[in-house]
Amino acid sequence: MAISRQQVPQPVVLDLNTIVKQMQSLFHGVLNPDIEIRSVLGRGLGAIRADPTQVEQVLMNLVINARDAMPGGGKIAVETANVEVDPSQQQLPLCLTPGPYVRLIVSDTGTGIAPEIQAHLFEPFFSTKPAGMGTGLGLSTIFSIVKQMGGAIDVSTKQGKGTVFKVYFPRCPEDLLAGPPRATMTVTGGTETILLVEDTAPLRQLTREMLRSQGYNVLDAGDPDEALRVARECAGPLPLLITDLLLPGYSGSLLAQRLAPIHPEAKVLYTSGYCDNSTSHPGVRGKDYEFLQKPFSRDDLLRAVRTLLEPPRLPARRPSRPVPAPAATPASLA
């Protein structure tokens, strides 16, 4: 979606170690219990200039690919380090320009990649997964993001021995780090119950874990009929529905309309990767909704949720003071 919509990246100076730490709970949420994941974070890691959402995409795609390569379980390692690409090296990784880089490594102990497949790894829509299990855009998206940043990806694999992806991000010059720190908005969670409706299973699983990691009680469904059944079985309040605008045989707005008699308190967060604003979609009415464009980051999601669940309060009005009567004008000045 990011490639087809030609989204403009919003790069900032950031710490790759911080992103890896923030995504730890999400990794555990999307991995099978028989897969162990560990992080080895480099000390004194240099900063990179990148769009945080894109870096999260790169990291999550690599971890999910590693998971899918280990149906019987195994180990994943996520490592970061500063590296210097020396022009004297005989083989620079994928023709990188010599200089300082921050390297991200995601390795697994999975099945490895067959030689005849390796040449097609980064081709759009190329996939060895069964229908409905993948679009073939994960690695091509990573390749596009990293190349746009001036970096590169190096892959080493052996059948039956696992795969190692090495991603090289250009390291920021020191003068960029001397500027004022970027202002950040505090992202908070909650304990409210949320109904999540998303027909793409991996995305539904990831979004569910994003919300649960922040304390929310998440009920999820893969289609509108299941969503309405879950809603009827929910005895307590249901303050928020998160739904894609385009669902099998339904629209998200129609689902919201059918949910209203069951849980009239529910506000709606619409998501979509195919239109830029929910107001352009037929049937979207009302003021208790927000719209979130796919692909979105964890922080984007959490901000949108809190905006709906906890709308900003207007400042309390101060009691007006009585206006004193004007002093009587002396007759001599009249």
E strand intervals along the chain: 12-14, 35-40, 48-50, 74-85, 99-108, 152-158, 162-170, 193-197, 217-221, 240-244, 246-247, 250-251, 267-272, 289-293
pLDDT (0 to 100) of residue 333: 36
pLDDT in tens, 5-42: 445 567 889 999 999 998 888 888 888 889 999 999 99
The answer as to whether 147 is a domain residue is: yes
Q: Do 37 and 121 reside in the same domain of the chain?
A: yes
Residue 44, burial from CB neighbour count under 10 angstroms (0-12, 13-18, 19+): exposed
Higher pLDDT, 282 or 166: 166
Cis peptide before 295 (omega within 30 of 0): yes
- Asked if residue 22 and residue 155 are part of one domain, the reply reads yes
Listed range (46-55, 87-96, 151-160, 298-307) with the worst mean pLDDT: 87-96
As a whole number, mean pLDDT of residues 198-222 equals 89
H-assigned helices in 92-161: 115-118, 138-148
Residue 95 lies in a domain: yes
Mean pLDDT computed over 267-275:
82
Domain-embedded: residue 157: yes
Beta-bridge mates of residue 240: 194, 267
**CATH number, residue 299:** 3.40.50.2300
Number of domains in the chain: 2
Domain of residue 289 covers: 193-309
Burial class (CB in 10 A: 0-12, 13-18, 19+), 287: exposed
What is the bridge-based pairing of β-strands 246-247 and 240-244?
unpaired
- One domain for residues 165 and 116: yes
Question: Are residues 46 and 97 both part of a single domain?
Answer: yes
Single residue among 127, 147, 176 that ends a domain in this structure: 176
Residue 137 resides in a domain: yes
Domain-located, residue 333: no
CATH code: domain of residue 37: 3.30.565.10
pLDDT for 314? 47
pTM over 0.75: no
